Amino acid sequence: MDLYLAFPNESTANSVLYRTVDGETYPNYANIDTIGVIYKPTGKTAQTEDGEVPVMQAVSGWHVNVRVVNENTAPLQKYVITPSNPVRVWA
């Protein structure tokens, strides 16, 4: 099962997705794809020396995809989103 997640920030994401044991950090899930901040076009353009470029705006949240095989998804459920056009997907 593939989950698209949006955490309020990177720190929260790391606290859910990873654990530290004896100073070593380990993932709680086998397949984690950290995207981070996503930018979407605003519909406006700006003129630069290289020509016209779209004006981009950050989408709120710290975005991560997780492919779950047999792991417990309960800690992830409050961060699950359903994007209409995911920025990245598992192949």
pLDDT, tens digit, 9 for 90 and up, residues 40-89 = 999 999 999 999 999 999 999 999 999 998 889 999 999 999 999 999 99
pLDDT category, 91, cuts 50, 70, 90? confident
pLDDT tens track for 25-48: 999 999 999 999 999 999 999 999
Nearest to 3 by CA among 22, 16, 15: 16
Check residue 30 and give its pLDDT: 92
Are 28 and 53 in contact by the 8 Å Cβ rule? The answer is no
The Cβ-side half-sphere exposure at 24, using a 13 Å CA radius, reads 5
In percent, the amount of the chain with pLDDT more than 70 equals: 100
Paired strand residues for 54: 45
Paired strand residues for 24: 21
